[in-house]
């Protein structure tokens, strides 16, 4: 049985999304021509939520894409089974686009490193930013988020942070689970 420790409840997750939106608006207030690119699995509904909030605040909804990074991961040969490949959908031109990558949790930075490789397969953006709902603060790669909903630096390294979203899990919450 897996034991879960609640880190952020439904209201706090919603507040974190709102915080991300406000930070994006501060940076792109003068030039709102940007797109969101959610990483499968939880980054996709998170990007959609951010787009919804941005539309509420500005009247304009940024384009949202979906990026699968499975084949770009550096641990693909180390996993016991084949990766689940999800559809990449990029409904905008990546060339010279202002792209905000969206993911749920920044842990080691490996997923973001893979995303950077994947993005360049589709074009060369003018700028690339990273938005995460939760930053653990211990990346193995020199990667940092530009927009962060919460810092979770005090979570035990032996615990994995899992973001649950209503769209995929039936509830909003962030939990820590034992994984090592």
In order of start, what are the domains of the chain with their CATH numbers? 12-153 (3.40.50.2020)
Average pLDDT rounded to a whole number, residues 32-61: 94
Which residue from 104, 112, 151, 107 is spatially nearest to 128, judged by alpha carbons? 112
Taking only the tens place, the pLDDT of each residue in 73-89 is 666 655 666 667 788 89
Spatial separation of the C-alpha atoms in residues 123 and 65, rounded to whole Å = 14
Q: Percentage of the chain surpassing pLDDT 70?
A: 92
Mean pLDDT for the stretch of residues 26-52: 93
Q: From residue 118, how far is each of 16, 74, 123 by CA, in Å?
A: 27, 12, 9
**DSSP label at 42?**
T
- Provide the token pair at 159: 């615990």
Of all residues in the chain, what percent carry a pLDDT higher than 90? 73
pTM of the model: 0.91
Angle of helix 10-28 relative to helix 43-58, nearest 10 degrees, comes to 60
| pLDDT tens track for 107-132 | 989 999 999 999 999 999 999 999 99
């Amino acid at each position: 049985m897996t034991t879960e420790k609640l880190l952020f409840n439904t209201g706090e997750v919603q507040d974190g999304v709102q915080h991300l939106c406000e930070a994006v608006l501060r940076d792109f207030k003068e030039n709102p021509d940007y797109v969101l690119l959610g990483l499968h699995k939880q980054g996709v509904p998170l990007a959609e939520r951010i787009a919804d909030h941005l539309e509420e605040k500005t009247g304009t909804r940024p384009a949202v894409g979906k990026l699968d990074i499975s084949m770009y991961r550096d641990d693909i040969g180390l996993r016991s089974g084949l990766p689940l490949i999800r559809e990449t959908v990029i409904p905008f031109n990546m060339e010279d686009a202002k792209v905000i990558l969206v993911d749920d949790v920044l842990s080691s930075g490996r997923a973001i490193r893979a995303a950077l490789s994947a993005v360049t397969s589709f074009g060369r953006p003018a700028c690339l930013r990273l938005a995460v709902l939760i930053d653990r603060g211990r990346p193995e790669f020199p990667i940092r988020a530009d927009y962060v909903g919460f810092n979770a630096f005090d979570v035990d390294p032996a615990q994995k942070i899992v973001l649950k979203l209503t769209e995929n899990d039936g509830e909003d919450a962030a939990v820590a689970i034992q994984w090592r």
